[in-house]
Amino acid sequence: MCQYDLLRHDHEKVRSGLQIIHRMADANGRCRGHVFRQLTEKLLEHFKIEEEKLFSVIVPENEAHEAVLECIEEHRILRDLLGDLSDGGTGNRWDIKFNVFAKILEHHMIDEECEVYAFSFQLGNETMLLNAFDPIGSGPQPCAAREI
């Protein structure tokens, strides 16, 4: 499996986590809050890796520059929404905020997969992605290898 596939797999795990939280809408807020906190932790880690290891390598490329800046701004907005949702998942208002968050996140993941990740392969630069997630030479260490 190439690094691009691992990154997409990461996104699939996030999508699965979002679906679990949606299904828990009528469940105990503490339980849903626990799942949401796990998802938040992994998302923040994923954002950090993308920004520090992947986007910093792609930014100099003119064609991807705008898409990368858009992704970074979306990460900022998503972090803000995660903060708004951090009370743990109780009440109708939380459900509405979560639905908005999930829609923005889904759009963001699609954009990354179609524009940013794919851009490095258009350049024939799979090594750039592999190196972005392997700073110490220990093999790829994407978020996908961790549980959500």
Higher pLDDT, 148 or 60: 60
Numbers of helices and strands, H then E, in the chain: 7, 0
Kindly list the structural domains of the chain, giving each domain's residue range(s) and its CATH number in brackets, ordered by start: 3-145 (1.20.120)
Q: Which pLDDT score, from 0 to 100, does residue 26 have?
A: 62
**pLDDT by residue (tens digit) across 95-146?**
889 999 999 999 999 988 887 776 766 655 555 555 555 443 344 333 333 3
**Cα dist. 138→43, 130, 133, 148 in Å?**
22, 11, 10, 22
Q: Which tens digits make up the pLDDT trace of 49-99?
A: 888 877 777 756 566 778 888 999 999 999 999 999 987 666 788 888 999
Kindly report the length of the chain: 148
pLDDT in the model for residue 123: 57
